[in-house]
Structure 1
Amino acid sequence: MPRLTYGRAGFLRRIRMSHDNSLFVVVEGKVTDRYFIEKLCSAEQTVGRAGYEIYMVEQISDENGQVSGGKDAVLALFDYCKAEGKLAQKNSGGSRSVAFVVDRDSDNITGGKRRSPHVLYTYYADSEAHAFADGDLVKALQPAASLDKATAVEVVNSLGNWSEKLADDWRPWIEQCYLAKALRSRTWVGLGAAHSLVHSGAMRRELDSQKLAAAKAAVRDTSLYSGVKYDRIEKMVLDKIDRVYAAGRGRELLKGKWLAAQLTELIESSFNDPRQRVAWDNEHLRNMIAKFLMSFLDVDAQGSMYIRKKLVGLAA
């Protein structure tokens, strides 16, 4: 088992000296990312035969001895390994490769993806969103909410296509979040928010025209661009989002934390008996549902296969 932390140079030495494993995967988060990639790696015989190790980026300090998590830290490590010419190495045991797995976030719409086979972006916005897209909700709700199977089935059936509806209801907010990223706006509008800030009412589904106007103004007024360039970027982003929705794929734009919070509120509202709500531990569900969904992830689903194929390409 690898030791807890390495310096960057030490990490590369670890790879060079390895005789048992060929693929070294670095992930950005510690909530679901490592388990997510473990499930995908273990599902591929090619990767399993090659051998693999999975590291959180916080296990690898930078050249100043500092450790940090997140997407920027993973990409900084990628840049270092690329500059050192060590994205792929060979030793007496064969080829050794490094994979850097990061959240796609808005990059499919706003641009900025690193064009390297060693940088693997999630198919959905993040690993938690993968869990909501491809996890078995009936099975996950039973341990997460302490429900019997019959009640879990009843609850899930009552939800219908809840994530698609959320994407439709929150489209104005999603558009502004993606625009803020593409336009490099320094504002309160963005994917980091816990929920839509332009909706109010029950479960934040009622669009507030004044809040939406304020969000649009904030994105525009704090953007690094203006004039023709601003208009061009705005049109490009909105056109791309429109194509995603036209293809019926709006839920692919949702962050995992949005899905967790909204699912929790939807389930709570489905309990008609006030006594059920008293016994309902919504905080636990909101914090744990993505983890339980990941336990019941369909590793053969489209989103999972998208990453599995890239892992195989590096391990082969």
Structure 2
Amino acid sequence: MKTSRYRLFVFVEGRELDVPFYDGISRTALAATGFEYTVERIVAVQGHEGKSGLEEYYEYLRDQRKLNQANSRGRVSALFFMDRDFDPIIKSQLPRTKNIALTRTYNVEAEVFDSADPVRALADLASLSDGEAARVAADLGKWQHELADKWSTWLELCVISVALGSQCRTKPKSQSRINSPVFGPVSDIAAAAESELVSTTATCEDPVVRRQVIEERLSKALRRNGHFPLLSGKHLGAYLEERLRAHPIAQHGHMRALAGAASRVHLARLDFGGEWADYYRRKILQAVV
């Protein structure tokens, strides 16, 4: 890093959307500075993907005092962008350093779906005219948040399951197992059984007390932000496809396999200079100051 021409190294978890997403953010944030940057998948540096790889490399650079270094071009900094996951609820303390930044939403994919231009994304995705796409977008409304509300009980159980280290399938990567059908109403019987399973398969110390603590934190988080920050973006493509195929206008469009293409199409319709990106641009500028 010290001998590089780059002023900022942005390290990301390495999934499909991370590099183009953070490249767009970095390019826009640093355009007026003239600073060069690079966005690197952590697997290329650390040998494995994911948040654990980012955390390990951050700790290495921190211990070596190499997070921020000076060279002939100025200061060279490292910035680690990590998915938010459930960290604000299940961790007692979040990182307090300008070298680490969390997503605003559960993960990058959720941010992409929530922040893209809905009309242009729907027009591309379902081969609709601008007028048709505008009508469909108006009818769908905040469909992303609608799914979070439908799965609210499931998402709460996922938070508790992760916090308790429960050995069950109540995890954020899984579709709801308590809604029937999966995007339909919640089954109270299934929810009660799943809640019991989360408790009986817990592996943490003192799971009863731990669950009480997490439920209190979760309640506070929900009052502030609702359920959407708990929803992994990986589920949004399938839900959008479900909604579109039932829509009287969209269902007559020339639709592709929507769920697989939806995240890429929405990524292409992000305005990285938009207000939604202020948080990310600010994190980048703070890192190079």
Q: What TM-score results when the alignment is normalised by the length of structure 1? A: 0.83
| Alignment partner, residue 2 of structure 2 | 16
Q: Residue 10 of structure 2 aligns to which amino acid in structure 1?
A: V
Structure 1 regions of 5+ residues with no counterpart? 1-14
Backbone CA RMSD of aligned residues: 2.3
Q: Residues 209 and 154 from structure 1, CA distance in 2 versus in 1: closer, same or farther, beyond 3 angstroms?
A: same
**Counterpart selection for 1:139 from 120, 127, 131:** 120
Determine helix, strand or coil for the equivalent of 1:21: coil
Could you give the per-residue CA deviations for residues 24-72 of structure 1, whole angstroms, max 9, x where no partner exists?
0111123111111112112224774222111111222x4xxxx322221
Q: How many residues align?
A: 288
Kept in 2: contact 1:24–1:54 (CA 8 A): yes
Distance 1:183 1:114 in 2: 21
Contact 1:47 1:311 (C-alpha < 8 Å) held by counterparts: no
Unaligned runs of 5+ in 2: none
Whether 1:84 aligns to 2:64 is yes
TM superposition score normalised by structure 2: 0.90
Structure 2 residue 255 is matched with structure 1 residue 280: yes
Identity of matched residues, %: 25
Task: State the partner residue of 2:202.
Answer: 223
Alpha-carbon distance, 1:108 to partner: 1.6
The CA deviation string for residues 174-206 of structure 1, in whole angstroms up to 9 with x for no partner, is 00111111112222111121x2121112x5222
Contact 1:135/1:294, CA 8 A, preserved across alignment: yes
The verdict on how the C-alpha distance between 1:25 and 1:110 changes in structure 2, with shifts beyond 3 A counting, is: same
Moved over 4 A (4+): 300-303
Superposed displacement of residue 301, structure 1: 5.3
Are 1:28 and 2:7 matched, yes or no?
Answer: no
Match of 1:53 among 18, 33, 38: 38
After superposition, what is the alpha-carbon deviation per residue over 1:136-191, rounded to whole angstroms, capped at 9, x for unaligned?
11111222222221221121112123223222221110001111111122221111
- Of the three residues 235, 240, 257, the one matched with 2:212 is 235
CA distance in structure 1 between the aligned counterparts of 2:141 and 2:240, rounded to whole angstroms: 11
Q: CA deviation at 1:302?
A: 5.8
SS in 1 for 2:40: strand
Deviations 1:65-105 (A, max 9, x none): xx322221221221222222211111222211111111111
Structure 1 residues 86 and 45 mapped into 2: Cα distance closer, same or farther (>3 Å)? closer
Tell me by how many angstroms 1:250 deviates.
Answer: 2.5
Of residues 129, 140, 156, the one that matches 1:175 is 156
- What is aligned with 1:264? 241
Equivalences for residues 97-246 of structure 1 within 5 A: 97-111=77-91, 113-193=94-174, 195-201=175-181, 203-225=182-204, 229-246=206-223
Other-structure match for 2:282 = 309
Q: CA deviation at 1:243?
A: 3.2
Superposed CA offset, 1:108-139 (max 9, x none): 21116433321111111111111122111111
1:44 aligns with one of 29, 40, 51: 29
